[in-house]
């Protein structure tokens, strides 16, 4: 079922993935302080969220470029080992169908049910869009997350765990999914568990189809919800009743 994940990393490719993993470990360890600083930066500027999206998009495309470097270091690592292949007709249909389903559910909830989500947890509330331009940038962030995070974790790190550490595919998948979850440590225990579970589901889709296309589109669709499509109830001031509060537009 996963015969296409069979990489043979040379010293240079293994070193690139090891350095990339160390970078993420340091980032995870610093995440509580980093998030507090980022929140202060965003809330101190009118364009704070737009600046955040710009930095996020640039940094993740750079990380994705680094993750691709092992493909250039020798013949032992093939694009197929990263899931960089077009799925069969069934996989392509599954990708398109799941993407449309996620988008449709969020759109219908917001447009037909007139439902607004309650105030988000403070760990993420400062990132949510308030204006149309912020939602537009959120589209870029959602697709960047779908492409680049899947390429780094389900593509490079899974290939590295299987081909470099010689782990069983499903053991490797569990460890990579946990690593992916820890990357969301700033969201608290619920965020870590939720993203680790999502990472596991994305890996199953990847293995079943042999292509990153399905998890990429599902990941992008999931992130389009909070960053571009959903509207949230703003937190009410302490001295203001919550009844009749309006959603940010």
% residues pLDDT > 70 (the chain): 84
Give burial (CB, 10 Å; 0-12/13-18/19+) of 177: buried
At residue 245, does pLDDT exceed 70?
A: no
pLDDT tens-digit series, residues 15-41: 999 999 999 999 888 877 777 788 888
Please report whether residue 187 resides in a domain. yes
Contact in structure between 198 and 137 (CB atoms under 8 Å): no
Contact in structure between 196 and 208 (CB atoms under 8 Å): no
Quick one: pLDDT at residue 248? 36
Please report whether residue 238 resides in a domain. no
Contact in structure between 187 and 121 (CB atoms under 8 Å): yes
Averaged pLDDT for residues 179-206: 89
H or E stretch covering 186: none
Please report whether residue 239 resides in a domain. no
Contact in structure between 64 and 152 (CB atoms under 8 Å): yes
Please report whether residue 249 resides in a domain. no
CA dihedral for 131, 134, 136, 139, sign (positive or negative): negative
- pTM attached to this predicted model: 0.85
Please report whether residue 2 resides in a domain. no
Q: In whole numbers, what is the pLDDT of the chain averaged over residues?
A: 84
Range of the structural domain that residue 38 is part of: 11-229
* 86 vs 120, higher pLDDT: 86
Confidence of residue 246 (pLDDT cuts 50, 70, 90): very low
- Cα dihedral 100, 105, 111, 116, rounded to 10, equals -140
Please report whether residue 6 resides in a domain. no
At residue 208, does pLDDT exceed 90?
A: no
Alpha helices by DSSP H, listed for 112-168, are: 122-125, 132-144, 150, 158-159
Confidence of residue 185 (pLDDT cuts 50, 70, 90): confident
Quick one: pLDDT at residue 98? 86
% residues pLDDT > 90 (the chain): 48
Please report whether residue 1 resides in a domain. no
Please report whether residue 94 resides in a domain. yes
Q: State the Cα–Cα distance between residues 102 and 111, nearest whole angstrom.
A: 14
Averaged pLDDT for residues 93-116: 75
Domain tally, the chain: 1
């Amino acid at each position: 079922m996963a015969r296409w994940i069979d990489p043979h990393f040379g010293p240079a490719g293994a070193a690139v993935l090891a350095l990339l993993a160390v970078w993420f470990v340091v980032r995870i360890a610093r995440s509580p302080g980093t998030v507090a600083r980022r929140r202060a930066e965003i809330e101190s500027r009118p364009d704070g969220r737009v600046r955040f999206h710009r930095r996020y998009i640039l940094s993740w495309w750079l990380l994705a470029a680094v993750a691709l470097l092992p493909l250039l270091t020798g013949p032992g690592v093939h694009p197929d080992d990263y899931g960089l292949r077009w799925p069969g007709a069934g996989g392509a249909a599954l990708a398109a169908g799941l993407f449309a389903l996620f988008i449709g559910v969020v759109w219908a909830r917001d447009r037909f049910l007139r439902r607004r989500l309650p105030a988000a947890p403070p760990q993420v509330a400062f990132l949510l869009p308030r204006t149309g331009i912020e939602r537009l940038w959120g589209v870029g962030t959602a697709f960047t997350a779908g492409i680049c995070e899947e390429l780094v974790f389900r593509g490079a790190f899974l290939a590295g765990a299987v081909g470099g550490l010689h782990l069983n595919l499903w053991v490797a998948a569990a460890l990579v999914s946990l690593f992916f979850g820890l990357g969301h440590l700033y969201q608290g225990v619920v965020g870590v568990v939720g993203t680790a579970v999502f990472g596991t589901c994305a890996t199953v889709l990847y293995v079943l189809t042999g292509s990153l296309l399905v998890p990429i589109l599902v990941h992008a669709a999931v992130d389009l919800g909070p960053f571009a499509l959903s509207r949230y109830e703003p937190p009410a001031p302490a001295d203001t009743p919550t009844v009749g509060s309006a959603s940010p537009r």
